[in-house]
Structure 1
Amino acid sequence: MKQLIKHIVFLVLALVIIPVTISYKLLSLLLNNDALIASYSQALSLLPGKWGSYLRSAFYRFAFKKCSPDAVISFGTLFSQQDTSIDEGVYIGPQCNIGKCAIGKNTLLGSGVHIMSGKGQHNFSDPSKPIKDQGGIFAKVEIGENCWLGNGALVMANIGKGSIVAAGSVVVDDVPDGVIVGGNPARVLKDLIAR
């Protein structure tokens, strides 16, 4: 019965947000999708409380590659890339900043976590040109299922399933499955799997 009620609530909220979704879909025919998702994300991030979280999830179901209706997307969380996937049971804490990524099932992000679109977003190899004019490469960062990313973590590389990133850590290299990493740059502090 509880699941049925949840499905009905998700359906109702999808209907409530439909005018916003339709405007997004129409504008996406004319404008850059990443710029558009950033604008809509900024507006939707200001909706307070649980209802705000539910409405954000309802909208992102139609705007992202994938967004589970039960995902919790907290107040002040911003997205900058449409190529984003959020799986079932994901919790994204307040004031996170999320780039191009895929977040696996049952993964938790603390407050203020930043997931960049890889570590090559900015090129600065030509000192004669302004950095803003040198471009870069956006890569999709994969966060495995059942992970915990602590408050204020900065993530530029993939995180293996079942891994924990300590608060305030800076992840610049891929993290294997089942480990705890911490520091700047993040390094393995403990192995959680008997290998």
Structure 2
Amino acid sequence: MKCLLCENLSLSIICNKCQTTLLQPTFYKRELTNGFFNYSFYSFKEIEELLNSKYYFHGDRIYSILAKLSFNKFAQNFSFNETVYAIGIDEHTRHDYSQTAILSKNLNSSFIKPLFGQLKAKNIVKYAGKDLEFRKKNKRKFETNLTNKNIILVDDLITTGTTILEAKKILEKKGNNILFSLTLADAKF
């Protein structure tokens, strides 16, 4: 097969050389509300085409590579005094996989444990290309049974932060402590 980025022959959908030279993560930090931060590994512009792979059958392989390069490395350097749970925001499936579940899985470490299917939206709304006003009027209406946990929220992309803040609010109502959120990319940078 050919590498998606350089088109050289490769055994992987993105060759090792491109992973090493083109996909090294940079840490972006954005405050969403007073004292609550989202951390991203790429700017949206850097990996836009790769993020859009979630709409295709090969997206799981691309997300696995991006998660290994960013989320997995983050998890290996993270420590906390109690167990922290990685919760993917609305782990619905496309083409038999969930991109947020792939990201959460790569946070598995001594201090972080992924929990799957714990935060589901009752209202399936597509936010792609929609403005902040639309997002505020059409909330996702998340549901969860999680209580009294330390949590890292996980999503693939942050644009306005509306979804993350809505998820945070629902989880906090159940007594959970949301430490921060992690996304692959930030559309602001």
TM-score interval (norm. to shorter): 0.3 to 0.5
Query: How does the TM-score come out when normalised to structure 2?
Result: 0.32
Query: How does the TM-score come out when normalised to structure 1?
Result: 0.31
Q: Which has the larger radius of gyration?
A: 1
